[in-house]
Amino acid sequence: MKQYVVYTCFVLALFWACRKSGGDARPATPTPYQVELPANFPAPVYDFAQNPTTVEGVALGRRLFYDPRLSRDSSISCGFCHQQFAAFAHFDHSLSHGIDNRNGIRSVPSLFNLIWQKDFMWDGGVNHLDVQPLTPITDESEMGEDLQRLIDRLNADKKYRSLFDGAFGPGEINSQKLFRALSQFMVTMNSFNSKYDSVFNKKAQFTADEAGGYAIFQAKCAACHKEPLFTDGSFRNNGLPWNEFLNDAGRMRITNSSDDLLKFRVPSLRNIIKSPPYMHDGRFYDIFKVFEHYSKGIEQTPTIDPIVKNGIPLSTEEQRQLYLFLTTLTDHTFINNKALSEILIDN
C-alpha cells in the first residue's frame, strides 16, 4: 500500500500569516489528514494541492454532509440521499427524492473513489468535485436552497463559524470554503478493501464459482468496467429503451451533440450488489434484471455502443457465477466505516 499524504501546515501557516487578526493570537494550525490508497490504483486526478485535507476540514465536511439545514426546509441532507449502507447510493427510491416530496429524473449515484473521477453526475455535467455540491444544494427537486441564503445562515451560526475558522482560518464563510469542506470529507470515501482486493493482494482466494464469474466478467464486462476501479469513466448508450416519462437525453443535455443521445456514465461495479436500483433511471432493483437486459433487452438506436450492440449473452449458469463474483466487490469495511457514518447534528 502506498500513501498519498497531503501536508498543509506550511501552506496554511503562510496564508494565516498574511491575514490581519486585530492583534489576536493566530489559531492553531490544522492537523494534516493522511489519505491512504492502494498501490495498484492509478494516481488520483483530484488536485489535493488546491484543497489540502486536514482533520478539521474533514470533520467539518462530515458535519455538513449530514446536516439537513443545508436544504431549504431543513429536511434533506446529502446523507439522506447518499446512504452509507448502500455505498452512499439511495436504496429507498428509484429516482432522487428531495424537499416537498419531489422527485428528480435520475437515480442517486454511489459516492466513492471520487478522487479518480474527472467529471460527475450521470451526464458529466460537473467537471470538478469542489463545485459538485452546488447542483444538489440548489436544485429545486433536491435540496432546493438558495446558495447565498445558505451562506448567510452558516455565518449566523456560532458553531459553524468556529468550525470553519478552525479548518480554513478566520474570516467569513463563503461558498468556496463550504464546497471545499464537503470535498475534504468526500475524498475520504474510498473503497478498496473487498474480497476481490484481498484476492488481488494474495490474501484470499476465490471460490470455484467466484473464479468462474471473474472469468465471465473479464470476457464480457471488463471492456467498460475496467479494473481496478471497475469503470472506464466513459459515457455510453447501453441499449436501454427510451423512458417516455422522464424524457432524458443523457449526455446530449450537456454537449448538445446528437452523438451523445442516451449516453450515460459507466458506473463502477464496486459495491454493486449493495447499491440498487440500477441504471440512470433506477429501473432495475434486481441485478439479474440487468443481466437479462444485456442478454436480450438491447434496443437498437443510432448511438448504441458497439460493445453491446449485439447483446451480451449470459446463460443461467453464467449469470449465477457472475453474480457471485460481483459479491466479492462488496467492501464491508467501507460501508461500515464509522468515520464516514452519520452523526447527530447539534444546533
Give the tens place of pLDDT for each residue, 229-269.
999 999 999 999 999 999 999 999 999 999 999 999 999 99
User: Measuring CA to CA, how many Å separate 207 from each of 36, 135, 195, 202, 334?
Assistant: 29, 43, 11, 14, 22
Q: Omega into 52 within 30° of 0, i.e. cis? A: no
Residue 10 above 80 pLDDT?
no
Distance between CA atoms of 65 and 75, rounded to whole angstroms? Answer: 13
Distance between CA atoms of 168 and 173, rounded to whole angstroms? Answer: 9
Q: What's the CATH superfamily of 195-333?
A: Cytochrome c-like domain (1.10.760.10)
pTM across the whole model: 0.90
Residue 20 above 80 pLDDT?
no
Least confidently predicted of 28-32, 42-46, 189-193, 342-346:
342-346
CA atoms within 13 A on the CB side of 44: 23
Confidence of residue 208 (pLDDT cuts 50, 70, 90): very high
Q: For 73-82, what is each residue's pLDDT tens digit?
A: 999 999 999 9
Distance between CA atoms of 238 and 68, rounded to whole angstroms? Answer: 35
Average pLDDT score over residue span 307-315 = 97
Q: To the nearest whole number, what is the mean pLDDT of the chain? A: 92
- Asked if 6 and 34 touch (Cβ cutoff 8 Å), the reply is yes
Instruction: For the chain, give the longest Cα–Cα distance.
Output: 74
Residue 271 above 80 pLDDT?
yes
Of the candidates 322, 178, 221, 231, the one whose C-alpha atom is nearest the C-alpha of residue 42 is 231
- Asked if 169 and 19 touch (Cβ cutoff 8 Å), the reply is yes
Q: Where are the domains of the chain?
A: 2-190, 195-333
Counting residues of the chain whose pLDDT is more than 70, the rounded percentage is 92
- Asked if 100 and 140 touch (Cβ cutoff 8 Å), the reply is no
Average pLDDT score over residue span 22-31 = 60
For the chain, the distance separating the N- and C-terminal CA atoms, rounded to the nearest angstrom, is: 40
Residue 298 above 80 pLDDT?
yes
Domains 2-190 and 195-333 are alike in CATH topology:
yes
Of the candidates 213, 216, 234, the one whose C-alpha atom is nearest the C-alpha of residue 225 is 234
**Grid cell at residue 325:** 463474483
Q: What does the pLDDT read at residue 92?
A: 83
**Grid cell at residue 277:** 436500483
Q: Omega into 267 within 30° of 0, i.e. cis? A: no
Least confidently predicted of 4-8, 89-93, 193-197:
4-8
- Burial grade of 125 (CB within 10 A; 0-12, 13-18, 19 or more): middle
Alpha helices in 193-315 (DSSP H): 195-200, 208-220, 252-255, 287-296
Distance between CA atoms of 297 and 58, rounded to whole angstroms? Answer: 44
- Asked if 165 and 54 touch (Cβ cutoff 8 Å), the reply is no
Supply the Cα-derived Rg of the chain in whole angstroms: 21
Q: What does the pLDDT read at residue 27?
A: 52
- Asked if 331 and 192 touch (Cβ cutoff 8 Å), the reply is yes
Distance between CA atoms of 95 and 246, rounded to whole angstroms? Answer: 10
The residue whose grid cell reads 490474501 is 203
Q: Please list, in sequence order, all residues whose beta carbon lies within 8 angstroms of the beta carbon of residue 156, skipping any fewer than 6 positions away.
A: none
* Answer CATH for 2-190 from 1.10.3720.10, 1.10.760.10, 3.30.420.240, 1.20.1740.10: 1.10.760.10
Average pLDDT score over residue span 136-150 = 97
Q: For 48-62, what is each residue's pLDDT tens digit?
A: 999 999 999 999 999
Distance between CA atoms of 118 and 129, rounded to whole angstroms? Answer: 8
Q: What does the pLDDT read at residue 36?
A: 87
Average pLDDT score over residue span 150-178 = 97
Q: What does the pLDDT read at residue 14?
A: 34
Amino acid at 79: G
